[in-house]
Amino acid sequence: MDQSFYRLFDDISSVMNRYTPKELSQPRLMELIHNPDFLAFLDANLAITMIFDFQTQGYFYISENIKETWGHSREDFIIMA
């Protein structure tokens, strides 16, 4: 893993420290999943990350690495309304 991931991990740690499970109300959750630093961290991670929105029955977020891991683009998982 290259140094940019570790640098990004350090940066995102400060973001994540503001969010604990007991404080993760709906508004706080929405703030977190719209945070560009958090999304950049998810994209840099080796794991595939998907955030599913049960209200819309679609994916809110899918990490960029899904194409290289599963062979499908993000768009393949988006449900068009």
Residue 80's pLDDT is 45
Three-class SS state of 58 = strand
Longest dimension (CA), the chain: 40
Whole-prediction pTM value? 0.53
Q: What is the pLDDT of residues 13-63, one digit of tens each?
A: 777 776 666 666 778 778 887 888 888 878 777 788 888 877 777 788 888
**Distance, CA of 3 to CA of 79 (rounded, Å):** 35
In this predicted model, which residue has the larger pLDDT, 34 or 8? Answer: 34
Closest to 58 (Cα-Cα) out of 66, 50, 47:
50
Rounded Cα gap, residues 7 and 46, in angstroms: 15
